[in-house]
């Protein structure tokens, strides 16, 4: 499986030595999950920094597109965010598999017509229990429980998929 990591931010440099940067974290997580099913050797990664307008040459070059977190908000008035929203729309129109982490989830929602805004409760920080309701080859079984660390203030409130 060929995976494009669409990088939207960097971990602070002072933490990268200990924790790595977002692309490396994602690779480690997916390789760890796929090694349990003996499929880790079938995963191939390439990172694209969308803040610098770096994108794959062709949507068909990858099987999965993973969008990282970011300190930016999906609704920020930044040129790279506006361009990225258009790109996500193209991925969706071509029925490409997309996985969004934090900001990635929020910008996917916004690109598909969701209402995304700051939570009136402020920051959400801690561990969130999640369950995979759909998966793709090598990324874990359906109904697998994931406990993920969260730190966010934005949320997807309403999603109306444009079909």
Region 104-108: mean pLDDT is: 94
**Helix/strand/coil (H/E/C) assignment for every residue in 39-93:** CHHHCEEEEEEHHHCCCCCCHHHCCEEEECCCCCCCCCCCHHHHHHHHHHHHHHH
pLDDT in tens, 19-45: 899 999 999 988 887 665 555 578 999
pTM: predicted TM-score of the whole model, two decimal places = 0.82
Q: Which residues contact 28 (CB under 8 A, 6 or more apart)?
A: 20
**What domains are there in the chain, each with its CATH number?**
2-158 (3.40.50.880)
Q: How many Å apart are CA 54 and CA 95, to the nearest integer?
A: 21
Q: Which residues contact 100 (CB under 8 A, 6 or more apart)?
A: 66, 67, 106, 107, 108, 109
* Mean pLDDT over the full length of the chain: 87
Q: What is the pLDDT of residue 41?
A: 72
pLDDT in tens, 133-160: 766 655 566 667 777 767 778 888 876 6
Please report, to the nearest 10 degrees, the dihedral formed by the alpha carbons of residues 33, 37, 38, 44 taken in order. -50
Q: What is the pLDDT of residue 108?
A: 95
Q: Is the pLDDT of residue 6 over 90?
A: yes
Q: What is the pLDDT of residue 54?
A: 98
Cβ–Cβ under 8 Å, residues 150 and 102: yes
Higher pLDDT, 114 or 150: 114
């Amino acid at each position: 499986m060929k995976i494009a990591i669409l990088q939207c931010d960097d971990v602070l440099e002072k933490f990268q030595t200990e924790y790595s940067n977002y692309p490396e974290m994602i690779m480690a997580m997916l390789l760890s999950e796929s090694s349990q099913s003996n499929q880790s050797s079938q995963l191939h990664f390439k990172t694209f920094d969308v803040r610098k307008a770096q994108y794959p040459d062709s949507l068909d070059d990858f099987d999965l597109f993973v969008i990282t977190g970011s300190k930016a908000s999906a609704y920020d008035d930044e040129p790279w965010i506006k361009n990225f929203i258009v790109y996500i729309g193209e991925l969706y129109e071509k029925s490409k598999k997309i996985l969004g982490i934090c900001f990635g989830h929020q910008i996917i929602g916004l690109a598909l017509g969701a209402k995304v805004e700051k939570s009136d409760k402020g920051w959400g920080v801690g561990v969130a229990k999640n369950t995979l309701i759909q998966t793709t080859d090598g990324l874990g079984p359906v109904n697998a429980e994931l406990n993920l660390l969260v730190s966010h203030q934005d949320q997807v409130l309403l999603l109306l998929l444009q079909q």
